[in-house]
Structure 1
Amino acid sequence: MPADDTSRRRRRRRRLLLLPVLAAAVLAALPWAGRALLWRWEDNPLLRGERLARKVGCLSCHRPEAGVEIPNPGSRWGTVPRFQAGNAMMYAESCADVEGFVRSGAPRAWLDDPEVRRRLASQRLRMPAYEGRLGDDEIADLVAYACAVEGLDLAGAGDPQVAAGRALARRHGCLSCHGVEGAGGRPNPGSLGGFIPGFAGRNFDDLVRDRAEFAEWIRHGTSRRLARNPLIRYFWQRQAIAMPPYGDALSDEEIDQLWAWVGAIRQRP
């Protein structure tokens, strides 16, 4: 028998032996093939509110690039209130106050007070009124975002376990990647969907099935279940930002607290 015929038969036999392996890989990846497209379309009020805040100019004043509050001569505290660690809490005590600022430039109680109106008129930079410029749904998203940033409306408020988890998330930088209150949406080139997932919605359901798998993500930056999927591995090898493994930096009790915080977020409508 010619040597080239024998060689061809061997190659054909090897290809046939590989078929079951390839078929298994394809079957494992199939459920995720559709999800790779659907991931791009999930949204939530905080994510929409943050995008809108950027689009209509809110963040130009309330979250300036330099990270310091903008001077505002004539205003009560001398600066434009900045989100997160600024003096916004001195202006708004509730989400109703925030909505008043967004709709009318100030809460109704302020506008009904002649002295406050005089002071507002004398300051150099004045909060614009978005009533008529934005629809009710858009205003609701802006208010939800601002209230979450300022801690006026947080999931699981009053639950010490949730509060401890939120504090841990802030201390370890989780919100820098996963967004305000875990809303997600931060860009991640090369990843499944092109962004870092949040904690609400079906995206999280795909990645984390229970507390044990959540702990795997925290400790190892990955999940054993998903690591077996060839399509997931394809994206993991190409994404720009990977989940960092925290190893033993967090105790089991602290992971329980983080899990309680995530659970509170997921229970919100």
Structure 2
Amino acid sequence: MTAIEDFLAMLAAERGAAANTLAAYRRDLEQAEGWVGSLERAEASELAVLQCRWAALAPASAARKASALRQFYGFCLDEGLRADDPSHALPRAATRRPLPKVLGHDDIAALFSCAEREAESGEAQAIRLLTLLELLYGSGLRVTELVSLPLAAVPRDAPVLTVTGKGGASRMVPVGGRARQALSRWLTVRPRGGTALFPGRSGGHLTRVRLFQLLKALAARAGIDPAKLGPHVLRHAFATHLLEGGADLRVLQTLLGHADIATTQIYTHVDAARLMRLVNERHPLARRTPRG
């Protein structure tokens, strides 16, 4: 096996990296190897040419490629495949992770009001949409986690769902009273057969694209700009609103299924931005014009 293959095998076995992550790392490493030759034997001066190769890329893309190489060389050092780490020569793209879009409380209320009103009709599709909404905002599920839920994941006695997240990692997600009621209603009208909690037309489960379309249409009916809403926006709203309510960051990390708390910390920036706006808009000094 080559050093790249060994590295990818380590990511899969020890870190539980998902198939898409492994494929992206493979592409980045093999592309770099095509430009500089064997990565295992490349010198720092050879890696420096990647600055030109990545010049046309978006900063985030260049940062991802550099991260893959830095992790690869860290692995090579640990395994004794190299005595030095040439990754210091890699370009360091100045990237700033964008703050996630978050719906305000008023928009959330309008969205649920519309979905609940439509579900009162008893129509199966309307009840399904309300259930999906409750789980996205009430439990903070990722889109793929939600649509791929098996019927067996529905809680019997304990108020939790067993969810399979990124890298095949399982976690327990609490399901609030509202979401449990919605689930119970959905199970009474759900089409029989199949193993998916939310069956799709093709016999599998509801697709991500279809869920995206349903939410956009619901936003329009609720008087919300559809551009503001998507499945992941509701997950962001779940996290931000919990943090606003005093949730501990470590608890939030567990609920969201983040492997690294640095990923969860983005929500502290969202909350800080909200607090700063509040000070600027509501503080008495904000209404005074500076002299001079």
TM-score norm. by structure 2 comes to: 0.20
Name the larger-Rg structure: 1
Structure with bigger RCO (C-alpha 8 Å, 6+ apart): 1
TM-score norm. by structure 1 comes to: 0.21
